[in-house]
Amino acid sequence: MNESVAHAMNDNVISVEGVEKVYGYGHSALRVLKGVSLTIRRGEILSIVGPSGAGKSTLLNLVGCLDSFQGGRISILGRDVTGLSVEDLSSFRNRHMGFIFQLHNLLPEFTALENVMMPLFIRRTARREARARALEVIARFGMEDRAHHKPSELSGGESQRIAVARAIVGGPDIILADEPTGSLDRENSRRLTQILFDLGREHNTTIVVVTHDREIAAMTERTITLVDGNIVS
């Protein structure tokens, strides 16, 4: 293997090879992904677009080790995740991935600050260190004065900023975002996306975004179009 090929392999953080996802059995089986193959490089910011039902969120969930699949192979950071146990997958996600969802998924009983600290608590990071790191990230989003408010006291845009802060606080190698700005107006959507992408570039973080927003997709470095379970461009 020559040096350039070896470097390219080391530079690939996500490798999806011929992956198939089927829901149901027999005549009622629904093939959502039909042999999808995709490679994503370290530090790349990529968007996945396509019509509703094309399999975008399904593909994102598989890359995020949140669901199983029936055929093919997925490697993350050079590790084949196909046969990992539930416990190993959970630990792997916590160490290497950050997730952003359209509906925030903030824990209502905790403050914004505590929500951002949560991934660090799971890693058993000391409370003082976790608090300092969470406050630093929250400050990047201009949310210092809202850090001690609970989710019910935050606006939709504020909640989503906290959700993004939670995703990046642990310094993940990969951030996976499913319609992360779908509930925001255009101005807040662009602003939040720009902050996320700037942070990604600062830390050479790979970011994969599923979106219906062509303006958001245009801000990424590469766009994959998924139609009827197949990558078409």
Instruction: Over range 98-110, report the average pLDDT.
Output: 88
Q: Which pLDDT score, from 0 to 100, does residue 7 have?
A: 40
Query: Could you report how far apart the first and last alpha carbons of the chain are, in Å?
Result: 29
SS3 state at 38: strand
Q: Residue 37: is its pLDDT beyond 60?
A: yes
Instruction: Over range 216-227, report the average pLDDT.
Output: 94
* Per-residue confidence band for 107, with pLDDT thresholds at 50, 70 and 90: very high
Cα dihedral sign, 147-149-150-156 = negative
Instruction: Over range 10-14, report the average pLDDT.
Output: 85
Lowest-confidence region among 83-97, 140-154, 161-175, 208-222? 83-97
| 1 or 133, which is more confident | 133
Nearest-angstrom CA–CA distance, 29 and 106: 34
Most confident by average pLDDT, 87-96, 144-153, 156-165: 144-153
Q: How many whole angstroms from its chain centre is CA 51? A: 20
Instruction: Over range 23-32, report the average pLDDT.
Output: 84
- Look up residue 188 and give its two tokens: 């807040």
Lowest-confidence region among 27-36, 94-103, 183-192? 183-192
Cβ partners under 8 Å of residue 20, min gap 6:
31, 33, 34, 35, 36, 69, 70, 71, 72
Instruction: Over range 9-19, report the average pLDDT.
Output: 86
Count CB neighbours of 52 within 10 A. Answer: 7
Domain range list for the chain: 43-61+85-231
pTM: 0.88
Q: Which pLDDT score, from 0 to 100, does residue 10 have?
A: 58
Nearest-angstrom CA–CA distance, 53 and 64: 19
Q: Is residue 137 a contact partner of residue 119, using CB atoms and an 8 Å limit?
A: no
β partners of residue 100: 177
| 140 or 47, which is more confident | 47
- In this structure, which topology does domain 43-61+85-231 adopt according to CATH? Rossmann fold (3.40.50)
